[in-house]
Structure 1
Amino acid sequence: MTRRPTDNKSDDLLERLRVTFRAEAGEHLQSMSSGLLSLEQASSGESQSLIEAIFRSAHSLKGAAQAVNLEPIGLVCQPLESILAALKAGRLELKPSLLNLLHESLDTIGRLLSDMALLEQRRPLAAAAARRLDDALKGASTNGAKPDDSAMEAPAEMSYVVPNVTPGTVRVAIAKLDTVMRHAEELLVPRLAASQRLLELNEAVSMLASWKKQRARLQPALRVIEHSLQASSRGVAGEGSDHGILNGAASRKQELLKLLEYLDSEQVQLKVMEDHLARLSRSTAHDQRVLTGMGDSLLRDCKEMQLLPFSSQLEGFPRLVRGLAREQGKAVELMMQGGDIEIDRRILDAMKDPLIHLLRNGIDHGIGTPAVRAAKGKPPHGTITVAISQKDSGKVEVVVADDGSGIDVPAVKAAAGKLGAMAPQDGAGMDEQEAMALVFKSGLSTSPIITDVSGRGLGLAIVREKVEKLGGSIAIESHRDAGTVFRIVLPLMLANFHGLIVRERGQLFVIPTIHIERVMRLANNAIRTVENRETIPVNAQAVSLVGLGDVLEMPPSRAGEQPKPSTLVVVIEMAHMKMAFRVDEILGEHEVLVKPLGRQLVRVRNVAGASVLGTGQVVPVLNVSDLLKSATRHMSTSRAASGKLSGDNSEAVEKRAILVVEDSITSRSLLKGILETAGYRVSTAVDGVDGFTTLKTGKFDLVVSDVEMPRMDGFDLTAKLRADKQLSDLPVVLVTALGSREHRERGIDVGANAYIVKSHFDQSNLLDAVKRLV
C-alpha cells in the first residue's frame, strides 16, 4: 500500500494511529503465540478451530499494518497468512519444523514492533523471514497446489482500524492511569494538612477555654477591688484634703473602674469568640472527614482500576518454558491455574522477573533430561505448575512447583560453607528447612558451571528481595527426587505507605514500617559487646546494634549532653537480614506519601525519597536496603579501625593473578583490560599450549580461556589442567562463541567452572563469575 502525500495534521493522525496499532498488534501476537502453543498439544478435532483463530489474528494484523503504512510488518504477515490458510484448507501438514518456523516469524514481528522508528532499517530482517515462510510453503505442500489466495485478500483500502475493545470498556494508556493514581495518592498531603489544621484549631479552642476559666476565677477578686475603690473614692471626697491630690487619685480610680467595666463587657466578646471557634472547629472536622472519605474512595477506585487478571502476566510463560526446555534438550509441560484472579498491575509488573527466575530455576536445576527422568522411573516430560489462589485478608498465594529432582541439601550446605554464608560446624546442627533457606543467599549456587542461564547464585536472592519489597513472603518445600515447591504470598493491592517517624541528632527521618520488626526501649546494661560490636537480645538472638546517626554519617551530638539511662531501638529486618538502630526519639507511625527527589538527585545513598508532613516539614524517607548495607559496612570499618588501633598491622591483600588464554589479539586485549580495570593482575597466552606452559612456570588464581584455538583448544586445556596434580583445583572460565547445549555439556564434562557465550557477553557476567571463583 503506497503512502499518499499528507499534510502535518495527517502525519500527526498517522502517528496516533500507530500508537493504537502497536497495542492492538501486541494483542494479536499474544493470541497467535498462545494459539501455536495450544496447537502443539491439541487433538485433531481442536486443531481446526485453533488454526482458524490464528489465521484471523494474522489477517487482522496484516490489514492493520497496511493501514498505518508499516510495510515490513505486512511483508512478514502475507506469507504467514498464506501458510495458515494452507493449513486451514488441509494443503499443508502441521510438523514440528513448521511450528518452529511460525514461532520464529512471530519473534521477528515482535522485534519489528519493538522500535517502529527503525522499521525501515529492519526491512532486510522482514524480507528474510518472509523468504523462509515462502520456502516452507513451497516445500511442505502436500499436493503441490498453490494456496488459494481468494479467501485471504485484505480490503482494498483502509483508513482506520478499530482496536479490539471489550464492550463497556475503554482503552486507557498506562501512563495516564498512573498519573490519575499519583494524583489520588497526593490527596494524602492536603488530608494530612487538614488534620494538622484541625489539631491546631482544637488547641486554640482549648487555650481559650482555659483562659476563660482562669478569668472566671479572678472575677470575684475584681468585684472586691471595684467595691473597695468606690468606697475609698467616697471617703477621700468627704475629708476635704488637697484638691490636686484628690483629683489625681480620683482620676486613677476612674481609670481602674473603667478597666473593670471593660473586662465585664469583654466577657460577652469572649463568649462570642468561643462560640465562633467551636463552630469553625466543627465545620473543619466535617470537611476533614469528607476530604478523607472522598480521598480514600477515589484512591480505592483508582487501585481497582489497576487490577488485572494474573493471566495477563502468564500468557508469555508457555513460550518461554518451551524455548528454555528445547535449548537444554528437555521436555517440559507448563500447567497454569487461577489466572482469572485479579491483582494490582504494579505488583504484576514487579513479579514478572521473579516468576521467570523460578521457571528458569525449575527447568535448569529441577527438571532432568528425558533419559535421566526415565532412569528414575518418571515420565520423560517434566511438569511445572503455576497456581494462583485467593487467600484471606486481601492476599493471594502463588505456587510454583516442579516434579524434578528436588534440592540437594548437602550440596547447598557445602556451597554455603564455600561462600562463607555459614561456619562448617553450623551445618551439622542445621535442620533441612533451615538448610533449604540458604538457597536465597546471594551468590550461592549448586550449579557445577556458570552459564548465561544459571550458576551465579543471584536468581533466588533477587526473587526473595523483590517479594519482600512488595510486602510479601516466600517459603520453600522440597523432597529429594520428588520436586520443589515455592509458595509466595502477596498483597492483592499495594497498601498506602506507612512510616515510623524518628528523630536522630535533631533531624527527622521516616522508616518504612513494613520492614520494622519491633520498636523497644532497653536499659543500657542490656547492651553487650561481642567481637568489638554492640549487640542486643531479640527473641534470644544477638542482633547487632548501631547508631542511626553514625550509619548516616551525621555530625556527632553536642558535647556536654547528659547520658540517658535507656536506649530507644528500632529493629529492622529485610531479606532475612536483621539489624537494630539506636535513635534519640520515636514520634509515632503515620501514613505518608513518598515523593522522588527529582532528576538532580536520582540516586542518594540511604534515601528512598522525601515526604511532607502535615506541618509542612519535608522529611527524608530512608531506603532500608541501603541502610542495612551501610550499617554492615560501618561495622566492618569500625572493627578494622579497632584492629589497627590494637596493633593489627597486617599486609595489604595481594592482587589476584589471572591468566587470559586467547588467540585473538582483539579479544585478548579486551579481556585483559576488563580484568585489570577490576583490580586483577593479568598475564596472557596465545593458545592452549602457551597457556599450560605459563601455568606450570607461574602462580595464578584463575584461568580465562577461549575454546577455539590452534595447537590446543580450551576444552583440551581444561581437561589437561584437571589431570595435573598441581593445577587440578585451578578455576577455569571458558569464554567462547560456541553456545550450543552440546558444547556447554562438554565444558561441564572437562571440568570448567564457568561457561560464558560471547554472543551474550557482558563484562558484568565475566566479573561476577571471576569474583565468585577466586
Structure 2
Amino acid sequence: MQKLEADVLDSNKNKKGILLESGTNEFEIVEFNIGDVYYGINVAKVREVITRVPVTAMPSAHPFVDGLFTLRGRAMPLVNLARAINTKGSDDPKNIIVTEINNYNIGFLVDSVSRIHRISWKNMEPSPEVGNESMIVGVIKMTDKIVLLLDFEKIIAEINSEINQKLTTVEKVNSSVESERRNKHIVIAEDSKMLRDLLVNTLHESGYEFVRDFGNGKAAFDYLMSLKNATGSIDDHLNIIISDIEMPQMDGHRLLKLVRADKVLNKVPVILFSSLINDEMRQKGERLGATAQISKPEIGQLISLMDNIIFNNKK
C-alpha cells in the first residue's frame, strides 16, 4: 500500500506534465474494490490514498457518512462507499481515497486500492440505461475484469444539499434579458443524466430555450459537424458550447481541441463546466483554448458568464 500511495502522489505531482499534452482523449483511474467488484475513480479527483484512520462520529450525519477524520490538520467527512452504492463490502475496509471534487474535500472508505491505469475514453462504454438512480457512469472492459466508473458527483450531491441548490438557483433577470436569451443556440455535452437534466431545465427556466444536449463529447461533436452543412453562418446555428471534461467516448478536452482545430467552428465560445476544474486542469483548458472554465455546481456563475460572452462578445 505504501507504494500505491506514493504512485498516486507522484501522479498528482506530475499531473502538470500530463496536462501539457494536448487533448489525447486519455485519462488515468485509481482502481479499487468493494467486495468482489472493481471500481474506478479519475486520478484528477484524487488527492491521495491513505490507510484507514480513526473516525469521529457526527450527530445527525447523513446515512452515508461514518463521521469525520483528520488529515494534515483538516477535518473532512468520510463516506462509507459500500453503503452509498448499496452493496456488500468487507467487514474490515482498508483504505480511504481522499478526493477534491467540486472544490469539496471528502474521503471515501473502500475495501482496498490496487493500482493506476491509463485508459482512452474511447474504451469506456456509457453505463447501461437503468434510470437516474444508477451510480455508474461508465464501464471499462479490461483483459481480466470489468471496472465500473462511479458517479462520485452524484454521491456528494446527495450528501450535500447545497450542491443541488447551486445547480438550480439562478438570479432573476428582467423580461428583456430572457427574451434575448431565447434566440441563442446552446450545445451541452454532459455524461451524467441527472446533471444534464438539471442543467437543461435550469437553462430553459432562465430563458435559454434552444438547448441541444448530448451524453458524451463524440455525440456532441458529430452534431457540431452536421451544423457545418446548414445554410448561413455558423453563428446562426450555434452560439456557445458547454462541456463537461470527464465523459465516455470523447472527453471535454478532446472535444475542445477538435473544435479549435476546425476552420468553421474554431471561433465558437467553449465553456468547460466540470467538477475537475482546479489549478492544474485549468492550465490544460487554457492551453487547449477554452473560452472560460467554471467548477460545478456554480450554474448561476455559468449563466452570467454565458450572457457576458454571448452578448458582449468577451472571449
TM-score > 0.5 by shorter chain: no
Structure in which a larger fraction of residues adopt strand: 2
Higher relative contact order (CA 8 A, sep 6+): 2
What is the TM-score normalised by the length of structure 1? 0.17
Structure in which a larger fraction of residues adopt helix: 1
Larger radius of gyration: 1
